[in-house]
Copies of this chain bind each other. A is one copy, B any other.
Amino acid sequence: MSASNGTIRIGLVGIGKIARDQHLPVIGASPDYTLTAVASREGRYEGVPNYRTLAEMLAGQGDLDAVALCQPPQVRFSAALAAIEAGRHVFLEKPPGATLAEVGILIEAARARGVSLFASWHSRYAPGVEPARHWLSGRRIRSVAIAWMEDVRHWHPNQAWIWQAGGMGVFDPGINALSIATHILPPFFLTGATLSVPENRQAPIAADLHFTDADGTAIEAVFDWRQTGPQTWDIRVDTEDGLLVLSKGGSVLTIDGSEQPLPPEAEYRGLYDRFAALVRSGTSDVDLNPLIHVADAFLRGERRTVEAFTD
């Protein structure tokens, strides 16, 4: 299925900040897509049919090829399954689910129905990530230090759900670091962790994570939501050939202190290019590893109670 001009007819579900800031402008500018409809309980978007629910959109738009799901992970499973079972390709915002098991069910459903499922990790499309992966490939790594430290009051003001069970707390941004690390490093696993949980919350405000790989490399990560002033989103990889630093969330790359030339930021354009390629080749791309590391940290991490957090 595709529109007469060869584009992918796409509908978007969940008109929130990320949809307005990223998805809708990128879809509008891409030669691969025609935005055909949107569904949202509260948001509105001019120029295309608006529906209240995905079910109404699927019923009303019989020629829709694909849907992009921008709702929170807690409600994403039933929408994704409904879209897959209706024969639509599915683009999932990160993380792909509130649990690992539900994503496994989606993978199998997409395979059975013959549609493409894309679990997107936008940080992997930051401009420095692919050059970093390429430079590290085949090089001997001595150690890795990840620091993902930001001010939760600035980035997630009054978001109660993010502090509740399943909201993941500081792993909401931290999973972006893990999505980059799992893309540029050999496979690694958690050997220990400390999760700092405010006494009035369920989810951690900070985490110290210790990983290693098959060669015993030390990979240390610090996630912290209590960082005021300058914000830190850095991955430092010490190799036998020099020190690689990905900073500002992957948008700056230095090797031994020398800043590398990079293309401009285009994370969501990269994601939508990838999704179009998946749809056209009839394949899926669901890498669970970032979410596996988060689940492993909750499974194996030691919890310590820290002072109450109030917005």
Contact = CB atoms under 8 A, between A and B. Distances in A.
Contacts of A214: 81, 105, 109
Contact of A190 (B101, B187, B289, B299): B101
Contact of A165 (B100, B105, B302): B302
Interface stretch (A56-64, A147-155, A229-237, A290-298): A290-298
Contacts of A53: none
A202 B298 CA distance: 11
Interface in A91-106: 97-102, 104-105
A214 B104 CA distance: 11
Given A294-B299, A303-B202, A187 B100 contact: no
A300 interface: yes
A301 interface: yes
Interface string A228-267: 0000000000000000000000000000000000000000
Given A165-B302, A302-B165, A303-B202, A189 B296 contact: no
How many copies of this chain does one complex carry?
A: 2
A104 B296 contact: no
7 contacts: A81-B214, A101-B292, A104-B292, A109-B214, A165-B300, A165-B303, A292-B295
Contacts of A202: 302-303
A197 to B, nearest CB: 8
A166 interface: yes
A125 interface: no
A105 B168 CA distance: 25
A129 B164 CA distance: 37
A51 interface: no
A101 B209 CA distance: 14
Nearest to A295: B295
Contacts of A303: 165, 202, 303
A307 interface: no
A275 interface: no
A21 interface: no
A285 interface: no
Contact of A166 (B99, B102, B299): B299
A172 interface: no
A121 interface: no
Contacts of A302: 164-165, 202
Interface in A181-198: 187-190, 192-193
A77 interface: yes
Given A102-B189, A165-B301, A298-B298, 20 more contacts: A99-B189, A99-B190, A100-B295, A101-B189, A101-B190, A101-B292, A101-B293, A101-B296, A104-B187, A104-B289, A104-B292, A105-B214, A108-B187, A165-B192, A165-B303, A168-B299, A202-B302, A295-B295, A295-B298, A303-B303
